[in-house]
């Protein structure tokens, strides 16, 4: 088993932001950069996409704008700090980004004998195929098992995207699930869910699972003594 720790950097700002403003925040950061570092936007020079797990993700944490960096993203974020001296355009507003604090860590992401409980907010689990399958399910047990399988796939994709391979079986149990409503991602409406789940994998706080993680969807927070971190 690969036991190398994964670098994680969380940058939080004092600027309040709504969830629907995260794409504007992302655009503001990308537009201020002098380089065309693909990790900030996941688009290739020829207009294509970087089909891999986003290593720089834009979030709303404690109601404020934030950037979460993983592995190579923790090194690239230096380009942002060398640039963020001027006002940025957030939608139609011009604002100064005010840094609140930076938290750096090295996380051991692996399968354990014990399990951990997480909240997963504004999770976008569906594509057109599995959405149609989900709609045909009638029982709560069937729906939970279906979502658990998708969640396992999301975690495996996350691990693969940061170069981790699990040598033991990964388990996920959905403890509670609520529909968060229809939400737009890249102009398309998707059904979003707020989920509490248990898994035997240690996952880093504020990283994302599922679709749209670089735009603040599917944010993971570990539960401690039933106290949830506000996002």
CATH number at residue 215: 3.30.70.1900
- pLDDT tens digits, residue range 25-73? 998 888 887 667 788 877 555 555 656 899 999 999 999 999 999 999 9
pLDDT band at 2, cuts 50/70/90?
very low
pLDDT band at 225, cuts 50/70/90?
low
Give the span between the Cα atoms of 221 and 211, in whole angstroms: 17
Same domain, 120 and 189: yes
Mean pLDDT for the stretch of residues 75-93: 79
Q: What is the pLDDT of residue 44?
A: 53
Mean pLDDT for the stretch of residues 87-101: 83
Q: What is the pLDDT of residue 157?
A: 95
Question: Could you tell me the CATH number of the domain that includes residue 16?
Answer: 3.30.70
Same domain, 141 and 216: yes
Range of the domain at 59: 6-107
Which pair of tokens denotes residue 9? 């950097």
pLDDT band at 3, cuts 50/70/90?
low
Which pair of tokens denotes residue 100? 């609140």
Q: Examine the pLDDT at 228 and tell me if it is beyond 60.
A: no
Q: Examine the pLDDT at 86 and tell me if it is beyond 80.
A: no
Same domain, 135 and 40: no
- pLDDT tens digits, residue range 144-172? 999 999 999 999 999 999 999 998 999 99
Residue 230, in any domain of the structure: no
Same domain, 96 and 133: no
Percentage of the chain lying above the pLDDT 70 cut: 90
Q: State how far Cα 11 lies from the chain centre.
A: 14
Same domain, 79 and 155: no
Same domain, 66 and 115: no
The mean pLDDT value of the chain amounts to 88
Specify whether the backbone of 229 is left (phi greater than 0), alpha (psi in -120 to 50) or beta.
beta
pTM, to two decimals? 0.89
Binning the chain into helix, strand and coil, the percentages to the nearest 5 are 25, 40, 35
Same domain, 24 and 102: yes
Same domain, 204 and 130: yes
Domain boundary among 107, 123, 140: 107
Coil vs helix vs strand at 144: helix
Q: Examine the pLDDT at 22 and tell me if it is beyond 90.
A: yes
Same domain, 119 and 216: yes
**Structural domains in the chain (count):** 2
Give the span between the Cα atoms of 22 and 58, in whole angstroms: 7
End-to-end Cα distance, the chain: 32
Residue 229, in any domain of the structure: no
Same domain, 84 and 186: no
Domain boundary among 87, 107, 127: 107
Same domain, 66 and 123: no
């Amino acid at each position: 088993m690969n036991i190398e720790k994964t670098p994680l950097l969380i940058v939080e700002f004092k600027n309040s932001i709504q969830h629907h403003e995260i794409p504007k925040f992302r655009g503001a950061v990308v537009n201020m950069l002098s380089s065309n570092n693909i990790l900030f936007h996941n688009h290739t020079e020829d207009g294509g996409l970087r089909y891999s797990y986003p290593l720089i993700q834009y979030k709303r944490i404690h109601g404020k704008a934030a950037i979460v960096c993983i592995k190579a993203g923790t090194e690239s974020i230096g380009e942002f700090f060398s640039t963020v001296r001027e006002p940025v355009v957030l939608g139609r507003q011009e604002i100064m980004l005010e840094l609140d604090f930076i938290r750096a860590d090295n996380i051991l992401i692996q399968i354990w004998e014990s399990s951990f409980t997480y909240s997963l907010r504004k999770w976008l689990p569906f594509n057109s195929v599995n959405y149609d399958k989900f709609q045909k399910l009638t029982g709560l047990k069937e729906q939970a098992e279906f979502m658990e399988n998708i969640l396992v796939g999301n975690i495996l994709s996350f691990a693969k995207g940061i170069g981790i391979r699990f040598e033991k079986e990964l388990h996920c149990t959905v403890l509670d699930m609520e529909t968060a409503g229809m939400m737009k991602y890249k102009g398309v409406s998707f059904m979003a869910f707020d989920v509490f789940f248990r898994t035997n994998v240690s996952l880093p706080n504020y990283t994302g699972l599922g679709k749209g993680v670089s735009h603040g969807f599917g944010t993971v927070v570990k539960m401690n003594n039933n106290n949830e971190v506000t996002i």
